[in-house]
Amino acid sequence: MRTEIRARSVSLPDALRAYIRQRLWIALGRFGTAIRTVDARLADVNGPKGGVDIVCRIEARVRGRAPLVVEALAAEPRQAVDRAVDRASRAVGRAVERRDDRPRLAWRSS
């Protein structure tokens, strides 16, 4: 699983970058090779106005599926990351489960 982490108008120190990477690996690593890439993006929606305005958007590319995108909004970057990672984990779990449940063709030799 390749991860990419970006921020726009939000400070992204190395400690926060490491935290995001660790949370992604813990929550999504169990899906193994089913996930090709995960992109996490942080942005400050309101700029310097303040308030609940940090958004974390996670896009996961699951093999055999359209990209899954989840977002979470919070006052602090870590809170937004935690909420978005939890949502991404559930969404990827459902996508992988559906992929494994699809009907398969039964080949019979005559």
CATH number, domain with residue 15: 3.30.160.100
Number of domains making up the chain: 1
Give a yes or no: residue 91 inside a domain: no
Inform me whether the pLDDT recorded for 82 exceeds 90.
Answer: yes
51: left (phi over 0), alpha (psi -120 to 50) or beta: left
Q: Which domain holds residue 13?
A: 2-74
* Inside any domain, residue 37: yes
pLDDT at 70: 97
Residue 97 counted as domain residue: no
Pick from 8, 44, 1, 45: which is nearest to 23 by CA?
1
> Averaged over 18-45, what is the pLDDT?
94
Question: pTM for the complete prediction?
Answer: 0.83
Asked whether residue 58 is domain-assigned, the answer is yes
pLDDT at 110: 52
For residue 38, what are the β-bridge partners?
3, 60
